[in-house]
Amino acid sequence: MSSKLWEKNISVNSDVETYTVGLDREMDLYLAPYDVLGSMAHITMLESIGLLDKTELDALIAELQNIYEEIQNGKFIIEPDVEDVHSQVELMLTRRLGDIGKKIHSGRSRNDQVLLDLKLFMRSKIEEVAIAVKRLFDALIRQSNRYADVLLPGYTHLQVAMPSSFGLWFGAYAESLSDDLTVLRSAYTVVDRNPLGSAAGYGSSFPLNRAMTTTLLGFSTMAYNVVYAQMGRGKTERIVAQALASVAATVGKLAFDACMFSSQNFGFIKLAPEYTTGSSIMPHKKNPDVFELTRAKANKLQALPYEITLITNNLPSGYFRDLQLIKESFLPAFDMLIDILVMTERMISEIEVNKNILEDSRYDYMFSVEEVNRLAVNGMPFRDAYKKVGLDIESGNFSPNKDICHTHAGSIGNLCNEDIENLFNSILDSFNFSNYHAAFNNLLSR
Ligand code: ARG
């Protein structure tokens, strides 16, 4: 018997086989549990429209549950001459159940199967990312509140500018993650639409009940137009990659700040020694390798949307094998992002901040605007006050008043961390991940 679902009487050249499969079997292992869940929903629908009978459905569901368990226990493999996960699952059902296994593919193509698998995978992985983002967010808010009043020089052009605080610094990255979560939420909306039933990209003459599989899989809605459902391949991944890139950009910037602030020339923070690395020649070194690799990984993640754009650019509508290649960098990207979020959360929680930065007179000038403002409050026109302070600085007569408390919203004295937390948590709640968990539990517990 031929090992390809599509092989008839001529066997494919073995080099072509190797070339066209590449890393795809490995990638498909990421999708395996979702392929099984998708098949469960598809055959339940097939039974409802008379393409399977109840006994056939029950036998198939029971066997798919076995395969699902094998996947969870790490026992599932895609055999060397089996093309992909979709073929492997069908082959296992056919081996175990005979002709019944051959019935599951009615009204379906591997094109909508892989679209579905990818969407189910993305939905779960976005949830994992959101949870990891939440942990880092919480750590940042904790540190922001803890060091709310510890002043830190603010910079423009990397020149000392105005007083800032550790409260503002940590809190800024927390609020940045809130905006990233909004982007992730939008990407989730795009993902959360059922492509199953689009088949090869042009639908099917079977009376498929797409609304039913939409509900069974816990999707909010379906991708309505079957041609567009297929066009969503690559586009959906790019949109999700853009959201991952947005989170990565926040973490990358934080990592750069942390590397810079921990350098002896700044000395604003100290990294926990067990989170630093040494040098083979310089015995004093405590290097911020973790943040450096975080920065590089964050940059790699930001390249991902561009890579996907380049793979898909100028492809006409309809399925093309080009799309397969997206999986190689896209599927592992979620775990890479989660890793950097977890590591950053640990680093941030362990950071020691320098509470005596202001004792160093090189930061005195950051109080110049405070002095101008004090004169202005007492009646001197702002421009005159600005000139006076400028001349005092030049003639060495500037002695700053370092008691400062900005009270307006979002400032040193009023960080608005509770507002930021409310914003973040309301976005997080809006994902409603429990919808799809409930649907998956129903499919798995029949
Ligand atoms: N491995 C393929 C992919 O990721 C699965 C779909 C195959 N479809 C096809 N028409 N050859 O795109």
Model ipTM? 0.97
Structure confidence at residue 1 as a pLDDT band (50, 70, 90) = very low
Looking up tokens 């830190």 gives 152
Counting residues of the chain whose pLDDT is more than 70, the rounded percentage is 99
- Whether 110-206+220-356 and 14-103 are alike in CATH topology: the answer is no
Distance (Å) of CA 71 to CA 61, 89, 225, 417: 15, 11, 32, 43
Q: Find the 186 Cα to ligand 1 centroid distance in Å.
A: 27
SS3 287: strand
CB 328 near ligand 1, within 6 Å: no
Q: 83, 110, 230, 325: which to mutate for ligand 1, most atoms within 8 A of CB? A: 110
Rounded to an integer, the average pLDDT of 9-34 is 93
pLDDT in tens, 312-360: 999 999 999 999 999 999 999 999 999 999 999 999 999 999 999 999 9
- Closest Cα partner for 274 from 290, 296, 298? 290
Q: Stretch 414-424: mean pLDDT, rounded?
A: 98
Cβ pair 29, 74 in contact under 8 A: no
Determine if ligand 1 sits within 6 Å of the CB of residue 324.
yes
Give the whole-angstrom CA distance, residue 250 versus residue 234: 24
Q: What is the distance in A from the centroid of ligand 1 to the CA of 20?
A: 10
Q: 189: CA distance to ligand 1 center in Å?
A: 24
Ligand 1 center to 324 CA (angstroms): 6
The answer to whether the predicted template modeling score (pTM) of the entire model surpasses 0.90 is yes
Return the residue whose CA atom lies nearest to atom 3 of ligand 1.
324
Give the mean pLDDT of 7-29. Answer: 91
pLDDT in tens, 77-132: 999 989 999 999 999 999 999 999 999 999 999 999 999 999 999 999 999 999 99
Q: Where are the alpha helices (DSSP H) in 75-225?
A: 85-97, 110-146, 166-191, 210-216
Q: How far apart are CA 94 and CA 229, in angstroms?
A: 29
pLDDT, position 6: 79
**pLDDT tens digit sequence for 51-92:** 999 999 999 999 999 999 999 999 999 999 899 999 999 999
Query: Of 141, 248, 130, 251, nearest to 186 (Cα)?
Result: 130
Report domain extents, the chain. 14-103, 110-206+220-356, 361-394
Q: Read off the pLDDT of residues 57-66 as tens digits, 9 standing for 90 and up.
A: 999 999 999 9
Burial class (CB in 10 A: 0-12, 13-18, 19+), 219: buried
pLDDT attached to residue 11: 86
Tell me if 111 CB under 6 Å of ligand 1: yes
Residue 2 has pLDDT above 80, yes or no: no
**Average pLDDT, integer, range 270-274:** 92
CA nearest neighbour of 344 among 48, 132, 52, 122: 132
Mutate to test the pocket of ligand 1, among 6, 78, 84 (most ligand atoms within 8 A of CB): 84
User: Across residues 174-182, what is the average pLDDT?
Assistant: 98
Q: Which CATH number fits domain 110-206+220-356: 1.10.3720.10, 3.30.70.20, 1.10.240.10, 1.20.200.10?
A: 1.20.200.10
| Ligand 1 and 26: CB distance under 6 A | no
- Centroid of ligand 1 to alpha carbon of 437 (angstroms): 27
Which carries the bigger pLDDT value, residue 245 or residue 286? 245
CA distance linking residue 177 with residue 136, whole number of Å: 9
* Ligand 1 lined by 319 (C-beta under 6 Å): yes
pLDDT tens figures, 355-407: 999 999 999 999 999 999 999 999 999 999 999 999 999 999 999 999 887 88
- Write out the CATH class of domain 14-103: mainly alpha
What is the pLDDT of the chain when averaged over all its residues?
96
Question: Is residue 257 exposed (0-12), middle (13-18) or buried (19+ Cβ within 10 Å)?
Answer: middle
pLDDT surpasses 80 at 287: yes
Q: What local confidence, expressed as pLDDT, does residue 405 receive?
A: 79
What is the CA angle 22-33-301, rounded to 5? Answer: 55
Whether 229 is in the pocket of ligand 1, judged by its Cβ within 6 Å, is no
Q: How far is the CA of 205 from the centre of ligand 1 (A)?
A: 21
Task: Calculate mean pLDDT across residues 406-417.
Answer: 94
